[in-house]
Amino acid sequence: MSRIGKKPVSVPAGVTASVTGQLVKIKGSKGELSFTVPEDVSVAMEDGAIAVQPRSQSKRARALWGTSRARINNLVIGTTAGFEKRLEINGVGYKAAVAGKVLKLSLGYSHDIDYEIPAGVAIATPKPTEIVVTGIDKQIVGQTAAEIRDYRGPEPYKGKGVKYAGEFIFRKEGKKK
């Protein structure tokens, strides 16, 4: 039994939720999101909460049960509070700046990297060495942060590169004479 799937997703005040067949729509103060639940899982509104149940006891249905509940919960959180990922840049001369709909990254390459900011995501640079990615869709926010980090991931010797705030970088000892 899925411990996560058993709990219904509560819909807070100020949020409207509608379930039409397998489509779940959530509308909150920050925007509107929808999710199509897989056919292996049934979804229904019960007492102001969204309940998710597997249609059978197959391995796929049980796997999608908790996943679907978590995705619906992320819709509720995203439309009320939103999601945020913070990135830190370490290295001499490494910096970031937002210019319109483009994030300009200087990461030690012979050229600057221009990253087009996707729709549904806002990127801010409070400091030249800090990037804040915000949005209402958790998947898009996480994917955007991962793509930015991929341009120059942190290296294990000096820790230079782009890393998530609070991420631990396992450090290696350099060569010995």
How many residues make up the chain in this entry?
177
Structure tokens at 58: 């197959």
Q: What is the mean predicted confidence (pLDDT) over 5-10?
A: 89
Pairing of strands 102-106, 113-116: antiparallel
Separation CA 125–CA 34 (nearest Å) = 29
Instruction: Say how far residue 94 (Cα) sits from the centre of its chain.
Output: 24
Kindly write down the DSSP assignment for every residue of 94-106, as one continuous string.
-EEEEETTEEEEE
Q: Do the two domains 3-80 and 83-164 of this chain adopt the same fold?
A: yes
Residue 123, pLDDT above cutoff 90: yes
- Fold category of 83-164 in CATH: Outer Surface Protein A; domain 3 (3.90.930)
pLDDT of residue 1: 62
For residues 115 and 147, the answer to whether their CB atoms sit within 8 Å is: yes
Question: pLDDT tens for residues 89-107?
Answer: 999 999 999 999 999 999 9
Place domain 3-80 in its CATH homologous superfamily.
Answer: Ribosomal protein L6 (3.90.930.12)
- Domain residue spans of the chain: 3-80, 83-164
Token pair of 15 as six digits: 């949020």
- Residue 11 makes CB contacts below 8 A (sequence gap 6+) with 17, 26, 48, 49, 50, 76
Pairing of strands 83-90, 32-36: unpaired
The pLDDT value recorded for residue 42 is 92
Helix (H) or strand (E) holding 6: helix 3-6
Q: Across all residues in the chain, what is the average pLDDT?
A: 92
* Direct distance between the N- and C-terminal alpha carbons of the chain, in angstroms, rounded to an integer: 57
